[in-house]
């Protein structure tokens, strides 16, 4: 739990830094690729190449493709359509995906999670009730893909590490996580990247370096290690701890003119959806033998 709390604080500034200094100014594909490469460089010297089962390597790579590669490509694009507070609020759906995916791996199904998702959708609509534009819908859908793949990566990494019990420190295999992300990020930059929108200032380069080494390299490793030490319910809850922390940073420092009433009402509805999921999920769960 302590690791998850530490990373939540570490990541609290990331959304604002992306939204305020990188989104629309630096090519999103390059931003993601730089974070992947820097994260990979952190773990490359420690990576154990021999003696690690192929299935474990591929499993960790797959989680990197999902949790970092696809997630961050969609996340960065969503900033072109949504404000930073909206991006933060709409990540609140991630815990629902965590619980649903964890149930799927254990052949369980909880219909109440779908009810909770519907309530959360209403909350999202309240936040932009006078502006449900095509851009907003595009950003919202991009972020839901990011939420789903981020949840899938967390749940997947936890199950991979539980399945393969090696007497080897986790940091000796975490490099494969970033190698998997590179499989997604590099082709995306080569195909969709815009060379005319590379970082142009020292501040932009500095933010990318910090995001790559600290938020991505150290943060991703510690978050996934923390995920392995808690149950799925705790992991789902901790996925939402970033929302108030990130909102606090953004609203107090950069976005003081945001419609706080609308954000509060919509956020309350979304929070209510989480209460519904937590309160009734255990009763509604159907277990398939």
Q: Where are the domains of the chain?
A: 2-287
Q: Output the pLDDT for position 32.
A: 95
Q: Output the pLDDT for position 258.
A: 61
Q: How many CA atoms lie within 13 A of 122 on its CB side?
A: 12
**Contact 221/171 with Cβ under 8 angstroms?**
yes
Q: Output the pLDDT for position 287.
A: 42
The model's pLDDT over 143-192, given as tens digits with 9 standing for 90+, comes to 999 999 999 999 999 999 988 888 889 999 999 999 999 999 999 999 99
Q: Output the pLDDT for position 288.
A: 42
Query: Mean pLDDT per segment of 10 residues, for the chain of length 289 residues?
Result: 84 83 91 96 94 95 96 92 81 80 75 69 65 77 94 93 87 96 96 93 95 94 91 72 71 68 76 75 48
Q: Output the pLDDT for position 177.
A: 97
In whole angstroms, give the CA distance from residue 109 to residue 100.
Answer: 7
In whole angstroms, give the CA distance from residue 242 to residue 17.
Answer: 14
Cβ burial, residue 134 (10 Å; 0-12/13-18/19+): exposed
Neighbours of 146 (CB within 10 A): 25
Instruction: Please give the span between the terminal C-alpha atoms of the chain, in angstroms, as a whole number.
Output: 31
The model's pLDDT over 20-30, given as tens digits with 9 standing for 90+, comes to 889 889 999 99
Report which of 282, 156, 177, 207 is spatially closest to residue 23, judged by C-alpha positions: 207
Q: Output the pLDDT for position 29.
A: 95
Report which of 95, 88, 121, 123 is spatially closest to residue 18, judged by C-alpha positions: 88
């Amino acid at each position: 739990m302590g690791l998850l709390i530490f990373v939540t604080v570490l990541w609290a500034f990331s959304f604002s830094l992306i939204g305020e200094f990188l989104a629309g100014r630096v090519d999103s594909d390059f931003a993601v690729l730089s974070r992947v490469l820097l994260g990979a460089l952190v773990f490359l010297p420690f990576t154990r190449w021999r003696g690690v089962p192929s299935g474990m390597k591929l499993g960790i790579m797959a989680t990197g493709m999902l949790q970092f590669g696809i997630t961050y490509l969609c996340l960065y694009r969503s900033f072109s359509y949504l404000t930073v507070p909206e991006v933060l609020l709409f990540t609140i759906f991630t815990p629902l995906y965590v619980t649903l995916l964890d149930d799927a791996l254990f052949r369980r199904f909880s219909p109440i999670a779908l009810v909770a998702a519907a309530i959360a959708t209403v909350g999202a609509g309240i936040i932009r009730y006078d502006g449900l534009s095509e851009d907003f819908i595009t950003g919202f859908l991009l972020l839901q893909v990011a939420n789903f793949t981020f949840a899938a990566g967390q749940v997947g990494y936890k199950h991979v590490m539980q399945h393969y019990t090696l007497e080897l420190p986790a940091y000796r295999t975490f490099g494969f996580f970033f190698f998997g992300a590179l499989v997604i990020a590099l082709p995306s930059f080569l195909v969709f990247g815009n060379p005319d929108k590379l970082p142009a200032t020292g501040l932009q380069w500095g933010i990318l370096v910090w995001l790559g080494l600290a938020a991505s390299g150290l943060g991703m490793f510690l978050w996934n290690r923390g995920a392995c030490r808690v149950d799925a319910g705790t992991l789902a809850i901790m996925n939402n701890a970033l929302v108030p922390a990130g909102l606090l940073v953004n609203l107090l420092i950069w976005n003081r003119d945001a419609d706080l009433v609308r954000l509060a009402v919509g956020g309350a509805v979304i929070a209510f959806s989480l209460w519904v999921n937590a309160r009734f999920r255990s009763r509604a769960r159907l277990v398939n033998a």
